[in-house]
Amino acid sequence: MFEKILIANRGEIACRVIKTARRMGIATVAVYSDADRDALHVEMADEAVRIGPAPAAQSYLVIESIVDACKATGAEAVHPGYGFLSEREAFPLALAAAGIVFIGPNPGAIAAMGDKIESKRAAAKAKVSTVPGYLGEIGDTKEAVRIAEEIGYPVMIKASAGGGGKGMRIAASRREVEEGFDAARSEAKASFGDDRVFIEKFIVDPRHIEIQVLGDKHGNVVHLGERECSIQRRNQKVIEEAPSPLLDERTRKAMGEQAVALAKAVHYDSAGTVEFVAGQDRSFYFLEMNTRLQVEHPVTELVTGIDLVEQMIRIAAGEKLRLRQKDVTFTGWAVESRIYAEDPFRGFLPSIGRLVKYRPPKEGSAEGLTVRNDTGVAEGGEISMFYDPMIAKLVTHAPTRAAAIDLQAEALDAFCIEGIQHNIPFLAALMQHPRWREGHLSTAFIREEYPAGFETRAPEGEELRILAAVAAAIDHLNNARRRRITGQMSGRNVRFASNRVVRLGEDVQQRVHVDGDLDGPVKVALTDDRGNPSETLELASKWWPGEPVWSGLVRDRDVSIQVRPILNGFELAYRGIRVPARVYTEREAALAALMPERAVADTSRVLLCPMPGLVKAIHVSPGQEVKAGDPLAVVEAMKMENILRAERDGVIKELKARPGDSLAVDAVILEFA
């Protein structure tokens, strides 16, 4: 077994590998760019080596720098994580030339399967069912259009190298192919150093299901069941689960056997994933093979009890698999949510900045329930514009799918992040979505269920009652504390009104009667406009002002609600609902209703930068007429290119930015006449 390994990656996957290596008694070496000097993975590792400037092309993608770091530290092996160099055939070859072991598959398997074009050719040779498409390299946009029209729309334009949604576009028309082809090539070049793309038929209403395989250097291969990854946005996975609610035992067996056969055909010898696109009728087609550890591997680990990173290390060291297919068993259900630095209320645009607060839910296992948080950040850390915007992966495991979803919802409610925008409100809302809970999924789920984007909804029903009761309890606790402040003037004690009005947002009001003390539970009676009680909720919590999450019991049920102070009140976040809460006396409520509403600034004559990023292109000039839908500019953020389009017809008055400019969120790019 190795004594020291180097992790050629960053963020949560570097931290994840370090944890397993530490448990196995293996010393670890981290590498870092200038942007990651103070990153968590650098702190966790036994040693750390700087490998270059912030851009990945000058640091994490430079093979020579990784090899030099191994030589300088005496690392015997390298774990590549995912992304970056993990699927580059040249990387293990360079390591082997330097006498360093690659903790991953052999270069031949990477060449056969890591390249999406070559993997489809290999799969077709092995008589594996594949999606119809053009597997050759495509030279230019004109050729791409011709191929797309021969295949028939819609088509998928996809980068040959890499993954993670980078360099991928769905095109349903000639115009979308023309725009998407160049964008896909540009993203692929920036992310993987390889601008080759191919085109294949896009299966309508598909599901994304993948099989985890393990192979050793002695010809043994097993599969560890499937993961469903159909909840995606812009071809980027958002939520994964294991097993899939679609598959039956017959289909699972068939997919597993096909994945194992393909892995054996290319002499695969590490952890890898065979991905399939599946129809709602359980038909399936080979999509690609990822010759690396997947982002979503924790759900497989939780349902099988197998540490995939440990298996990769043991296989790389030459050990035989101790597992046979009959030894692989599945227990319960696991759900994973990817927590991204993005603003779901503004079209999921990237967000960067410092994590002023980062308080994940408590991890651990009890009574058959498990909460796990894989992360590469800590409070005070910074989310950089140079890398993927994923902050953490929150994973829950329970005996049933419904229980795993409920546990995930509770954990999301307790996950506090401040300082940047994040997608927790969206994830929390999705956990309550009836279609998700019923398992009726497809890769178009988010586009179909949120066609106008994500917006918070007004609380109603049980959620309204819980939010109103917690708001009243928080206000009541603050008042009770004020009664105990020392040094107050003598005289008649101040009495706070028990009848209050809770205002949630602008339109929702709930009258309540509050009773209780600091040392005991608080009873909140919900009343009608005449003061007649309709329902009483008892709340018990150890929450204290200043804590970002109110956790306690509401009617003996565990509830977590995020609390953030705002002017004259606090903002509450629960189950995807984010709403300002203000608690008034009855007189204050009457006066508040008379206050004028603040007018929103008119931004209709300017194009604002929707996220912090780099201006890649400006497609218009002063005096130019534009039509609704015309591209105006391209802004790159976190390795993704975003095309900004005209919302309506108009004339360009003045440009305020140029290609190459780094802009902050809401910076003006151009003005309309």
Tell me which H or E stretch contains 445. helix 445-449
399: three-class secondary structure by DSSP: coil
CA dihedral sign, ordered 383, 387, 389, 393: negative
d(C-alpha 264, C-alpha 112), whole Å = 12
Res. 534 pLDDT band, cuts 50 70 90: confident
d(C-alpha 353, C-alpha 341), whole Å = 9
Dihedral (Cα; 118, 122, 123, 127), 10-degree rounding: 150
Tokens coding 328: 């692989």
* HSE value, Cβ hemisphere, 13 Å, CA-based, for 313: 29
Tell me which H or E stretch contains 320. none
pLDDT reported for residue 639 = 65
pLDDT reported for residue 265 = 92
pLDDT above 70: residue 510? yes
d(C-alpha 350, C-alpha 59), whole Å = 22
Q: Which of 12, 240, 288, 410 is catalytic?
A: 288
Tokens coding 642: 């975003």
Q: Tell me how many degrees the CA angle 409-414-416 measures, rounded to the nearest 5.
A: 125
- Provide the strand spans (E) within 234-376: 236-242, 271-278, 284-290, 333-340, 342-343, 349-350, 353-354, 357-359, 364-366, 369-375
d(C-alpha 180, C-alpha 200), whole Å = 14
Question: Which domains, and CATH codes, for the chain?
Answer: 4-103 (3.40.50.20), 132-201 (3.30.1490.20), 228-449 (3.30.470.20), 461-483+496-592 (3.30.700.30), 606-672 (2.40.50.100)
Please give the single-letter amino acid code of residue 396: T
Tell me which H or E stretch contains 405. helix 401-413
In this structure, of 476-480, 530-534, 624-628, the range with the lowest mean pLDDT score is 530-534
Q: Is 336 a catalytic residue?
A: no
How does pLDDT run across 480-506, given as a tens digit for each residue? 887 777 877 777 766 778 899 999 998
Res. 402 pLDDT band, cuts 50 70 90: very high
Residues in the chain: 673
Q: Are strands 508-516 and 416-418 parallel, antiparallel or unpaired?
A: unpaired
In this structure, of 4-8, 193-197, 417-421, the range with the lowest mean pLDDT score is 193-197
Exposed, middle or buried by CB within 10 Å (0-12, 13-18, 19+), for 575?
buried
* HSE value, Cβ hemisphere, 13 Å, CA-based, for 451: 1
d(C-alpha 292, C-alpha 297), whole Å = 10
How does pLDDT run across 566-606, given as a tens digit for each residue? 988 999 999 999 999 999 999 999 998 888 877 777 778 89
For residue 291, the cross-strand partners are none
CA dihedral sign, ordered 144, 148, 153, 157: negative
Please state the φ and ψ torsions of residue 186, each to the nearest 5 degrees.
-65, -45
Task: Find the DSSP H helices in 98-208.
Answer: 107-109, 116-125, 141-151, 174-192
Tokens coding 655: 């440009």
How does pLDDT run across 303-356, given as a tens digit for each residue? 999 999 999 999 999 999 999 999 999 999 999 999 999 999 888 888 888 999
